[in-house]
Amino acid sequence: MVVEKQILENLQERGTHPGIIRYVSTPDNSPTLTIKRYHGPCITKGRLDGLTLSEANCGDLQSFLDREDIDIDITTRKRWALQLAQALAYIHEMGIVHKNLSTTNVLLHEADNVVDIVLADFGASQWLELNICGDLVPDDPYRDPRLNEFHSARVDVFSLGVIIYIIMTGHYPFHGSPAPENDEMFEYGMRVQTLYQEGGFPDLSDVTFGTIIAGCCCERRFETAKEVVNALLQENID
């Protein structure tokens, strides 16, 4: 919580980005607090800590996909992929590595009948300028087993490619919808890491942005999210 507050405060001092969750305030010492933490307002009694963050009224990306996948058009999916890459490129340019990207840490907010991406959960992030060295690594299937260190933007680029795959297909790599949970998630994680280690990835020949996903997760030719943004913009033009 302290890390997230520090990162978001410093980001906002340098300007705001529409695709980054905004820090609003730290609750006071009142016994009843009204907290907007990602999924909308709630009342928490007797809690004296926490962060007040801007609202994302459609919840997290994974829950939305599991619930609404069949009704999401390709234009929206393309916009989400680009918005996420742009938000990630913004923090990379600031020197931040998120280190915990997943479809549950990417949120959705609807305004004027348009649903947009919001990047959240910076509690595990690294920002060396502030001596913040986040000690977590991404969960499966967002972790690249071929990485020997997790302090460069490459850790986020692999995760970004996986999330774009999920946005475009509606499901995890090597798994149908909905997303695996609990014991199934543990078994899935072991299986997907083995497949990744062996160079495996689902067939991308008929997946929108397949060549870009491959550049993130198979060929590993992108080093930063900015390169992914450029590739997405170019493919949209083509």
pLDDT tens-digit readout, 45-66? 333 334 344 457 888 999 999 9
Q: Are 12 and 51 in contact (CB under 8 A)?
A: no
Q: What is the mean pLDDT of residues 132-154?
A: 88
Delineate the domains of the chain, giving CATH numbers in brackets. 2-53 (no CATH), 61-237 (1.10.510.10)
Q: Determine the pLDDT at residue 39.
A: 34
pLDDT tens-digit readout, 156-207? 999 999 999 999 999 999 998 889 888 899 999 999 999 999 999 999 999 9
Instruction: Please give the residue that has the higher pLDDT: either 237 or 52.
Output: 237
Tokens of 205: 């020949």
3-state secondary structure the chain: CHHHHHHHHHHHHCCCCCCECCEEECCCCCCEEEEECECCEEEEECCCCCCEECECCCCEHHHHHHHHHHHCCHHHHHHHHHHHHHHHHHHHHCCEECCCCCCCCEEEEEECCEEEEEECCCCCCEEHHHCEECCCCCCCCCCCCCCCCCCCCHHHHHHHHHHHHHHHHCCCCCCCCCCCCHHHHHHHHHHHHHHHHCCCCCCCCCCCCHHHHHHHHCCCCCCCHHHHHHHHHHHHHC
pLDDT tens-digit readout, 2-46? 788 888 888 888 887 889 987 765 555 443 333 334 333 333 333
Q: Are 204 and 167 in contact (CB under 8 A)?
A: no
Q: Determine the pLDDT at residue 26.
A: 52
Q: Determine the pLDDT at residue 158.
A: 97
Q: Determine the pLDDT at residue 55.
A: 57
Q: Determine the pLDDT at residue 1.
A: 64
Q: Determine the pLDDT at residue 58.
A: 85
Q: Determine the pLDDT at residue 223.
A: 93
Q: Determine the pLDDT at residue 47.
A: 34
